[in-house]
């Protein structure tokens, strides 16, 4: 699933540096996982950081650090850890789905994140309008399944979108399967109208 | 004191993967203080930086078998292990914070709506109708919480009520609204 819409170089660099908020990093990871082009870019940022690591000022370890670490090493040779090769979407741990309208469910993602952020999966069936909403902060989104279209274009599985507070948009699901997206949202979503707000309160996102 | 001074970092990691402790102590000499310096740059302080740097070195031992010299330099790989350890640390610290004070309905009592629970779109008019079911007190907390987006603590202060009362009032209001919506499906 290598899409047309990628995170910006800034976002990928922040991701590679580990400075993105964990929930936002997860959404970038969902894209990078399926995008060879972005994986190469992240790898090159990591190589630069690796070089920088070699140049960094030493901070002396404690006198007994080596012996303490050696005493923690397992007896046998380390084993190769098994890679989790399931598709990204299946590796997410979701809280129970909450149906907030016909054909629309949200599920919070089990991931530690800042108290003011929300990390969740939203699924919208074809033909369902989504609530027009504004953002009170940054939002990252990676499409996991299906497709949607909004003012910025067509977004298909693997595509990534970053929006910020001045966007007021209304995505429309394309095609005949539900569109499932992973979101990280800073601050509260601002759905217009009480219904939207209560729906999101219900869903705890 | 590096017993493997003429061996590359990459070759050391390969030997570590085979369980070579001498190679590990050489790599420790080359990288542990760099890793600690990096963690301090990220914001780790004092004993926490030391502990985390030691954890990173243990992770390097445990994960050495997944290092592939064809894919990355040793310094890149070590950087990634250290970076991920830092992110994991932040995540652990965030676990406590992840629970929102705005969580209204207890997880245990919060039953999932079935797939086909809602068979039509709830309109704003229906919302208004549903709101009429609430007592004035309940309407007031719903309005402050969802229209004005105020935190529970602020609502409590504003209404001179204990925080627990605000939360239970909101909870009852939402349960009432949900029951109303359930009837409409």
In this predicted structure, what is the pLDDT of residue B115? 27
Measured CA to CA in angstroms, residue A31 lies from A17, A82, A110, B28, B34 at distances of: 17, 22, 18, 34, 31
Smallest Cβ–Cβ distance between B75 and the set A50, A74, A194 belongs to A50
Measured CA to CA in angstroms, residue A6 lies from A3, A167, B16, B46, B177 at distances of: 7, 18, 37, 39, 41
In this predicted structure, what is the pLDDT of residue A118? 80
In this predicted structure, what is the pLDDT of residue B122? 40
How much is the mean pLDDT over chain B? 76
Predicted confidence (pLDDT) at residue B136 exceeds the cutoff of 90: no
- Enumerate residues 159 to 198 of chain A having a beta carbon within 8 A of any beta carbon in chain B: 188, 193-195, 197-198
Whether B63 and A50 lie within 8 Å, measured CB to CB? no
Q: Chunked in runs of 10, what are the mean pLDDT values of chain A (205 residues)?
A: 78 86 90 90 88 89 93 72 77 82 79 73 78 67 91 90 71 88 75 53 50
DSSP designation for B98: T
* Residue from B18, B94, B97 whose CB has the most chain A CBs within 10 Å, to mutate: B94
User: Is the pLDDT higher at B100 or at B164?
Assistant: B164
Predicted confidence (pLDDT) at residue B10 exceeds the cutoff of 70: yes
pLDDT tens digit sequence for B77-120:
999 999 989 888 877 776 544 333 333 333 333 333 322 223 22
Q: How many CB atoms are closer than 10 A to CB B110? A: 17
Burial of A182 from C-beta contacts in 10 A (0-12 / 13-18 / 19+): buried
pLDDT tens digit sequence for B32-60:
999 999 999 888 888 999 999 999 999 99
In this predicted structure, what is the pLDDT of residue A91? 85
Residue A81 contacts B where some CB pair is shorter than 8 Å: yes
- Enumerate residues 74 to 133 of chain B having a beta carbon within 8 A of any beta carbon in chain A: 74-80, 82-84, 86-87, 90-95, 97-100, 102-105, 112-115, 117-124, 127, 131
Whether B95 and A78 lie within 8 Å, measured CB to CB? no
In this predicted structure, what is the pLDDT of residue B110? 35
Whether A204 and B146 lie within 8 Å, measured CB to CB? no
Tell me the backbone φ, ψ of residue A143, rounded to 5 degrees. -75, 125
Measured CA to CA in angstroms, residue B122 lies from A131, A199, B12, B125 at distances of: 12, 10, 64, 8
In this predicted structure, what is the pLDDT of residue B118? 31
Whether B149 and A112 lie within 8 Å, measured CB to CB? no
In this predicted structure, what is the pLDDT of residue A129? 59
Tell me the backbone φ, ψ of residue A159, rounded to 5 degrees. -70, 150
In this predicted structure, what is the pLDDT of residue A73? 86
C-alpha angle with apex B16: B14 to B22, nearest 5 degrees? 125
Cα radius of gyration rounded to whole Å, chain B:
28
Asked if A151 and A169 touch (Cβ cutoff 8 Å), the reply is yes
In this predicted structure, what is the pLDDT of residue A30? 94
Distance CA B69, CA B76 (A): 10
């Amino acid at each position: 699933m290598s899409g047309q819409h990628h995170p910006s170089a800034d976002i990928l660099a922040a991701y590679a540096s580990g400075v993105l908020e964990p929930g936002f990093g997860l959404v970038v990871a969902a894209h990078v996982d399926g995008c060879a082009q972005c994986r190469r870019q992240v790898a090159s940022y990591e190589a630069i950081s690796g070089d920088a690591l070699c140049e960094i000022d030493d901070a002396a370890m404690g006198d007994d650090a080596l012996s303490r670490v050696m005493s923690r090493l397992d007896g046998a040779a380390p084993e190769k850890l098994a890679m989790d090769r399931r598709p990204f979407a299946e590796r997410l741990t979701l809280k129970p789905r909450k149906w907030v309208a016909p054909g629309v469910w949200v599920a919070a993602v089990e991931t530690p994140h800042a108290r003011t952020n929300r990390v969740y999966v939203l699924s919208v069936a074809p033909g369902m309008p989504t609530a027009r909403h504004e953002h009170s902060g940054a939002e990252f989104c990676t499409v996991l399944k299906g497709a949607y279209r909004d003012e910025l274009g067509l977004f298909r599985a693997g595509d990534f979108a970053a929006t910020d507070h001045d966007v007021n948009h209304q995505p429309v699901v394309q095609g005949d399967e539900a569109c499932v997206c992973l979101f990280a949202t800073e601050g509260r979503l601002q759905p217009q109208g009480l219904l939207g707000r209560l729906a999101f309160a219900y869903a705890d996102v | 004191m590096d017993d493997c001074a003429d061996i590359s970092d990459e070759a050391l990691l390969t030997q570590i993967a085979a369980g070579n402790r001498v190679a590990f102590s050489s790599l420790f000499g080359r990288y542990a203080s760099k890793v600690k310096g990096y963690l301090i740059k990220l914001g780790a302080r004092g004993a926490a930086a030391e502990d985390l740097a030691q954890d990173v070195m243990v992770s390097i031992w445990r994960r050495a078998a997944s290092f592939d010299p064809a894919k990355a330099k040793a310094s890149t790989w070590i950087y990634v292990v250290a970076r991920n350890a830092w992110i994991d640390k932040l995540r652990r610290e965030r676990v406590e914070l992840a629970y929102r004070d705005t969580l209204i309905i207890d997880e245990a009592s919060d039953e999932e709506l079935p797939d086909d629970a809602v068979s039509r779109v709830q309109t704003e008019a229906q919302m208004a109708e549903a709101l009429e079911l609430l007592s004035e007190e309940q309407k007031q907390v719903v309005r402050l919480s969802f229209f004005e987006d105020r935190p529970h603590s602020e609502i409590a202060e504003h209404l001179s009520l204990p925080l627990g009362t605000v939360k239970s009032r909101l909870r009852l209001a939402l349960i009432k609204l949900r029951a109303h919506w359930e009837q409409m499906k």
